[in-house]
Amino acid sequence: MSFIRHVRRFVRSVAPSVVFLGLTAYFGWNAVHGDHGIRAYHDQLKIRDQALQAQQDANEEQIVWRRRVASLNEHALDGDMLDERTRAMLNLARSGDIVIPYKADEKLY
């Protein structure tokens, strides 16, 4: 009987600590690895940085296109730009033009 009594005392004295440590470990792990934890926060920051970079790239491209469209305005039609664009679209060159070939992955515009 005394052995069972010692086991019960041991379980009663250790069980609350074990339960508390288990809960602490559970919440600590979720604070780091959970859906709203530290790692998820850093992943969201990376996604935000990528989105901001994409927005900046889109804004720069939009500025380029607005400038090109503005130069094609009826009152501000630039003959050199129109000539350059038609040659680029039709892949034509004059006999005195210097042609610089570009690689496939390099953009001309």
pTM for the structure as a whole: 0.51
Q: What contacts 109, CB < 8 A, 6 or more positions away?
A: 64, 88
Residue 107 has pLDDT above 80, yes or no: no
DSSP string, 80-104: HHHHHHHHHHHT---TT-------T
**Which pLDDT score, from 0 to 100, does residue 76 have?**
67
- Average of per-residue pLDDT across 47-71: 92
Q: What percent of the chain has pLDDT over 90?
A: 36
Q: Pseudo-torsion of CA 59, 61, 67, 69, nearest 10°?
A: -110
- Confidence tier at 42 by pLDDT (50, 70, 90): very high
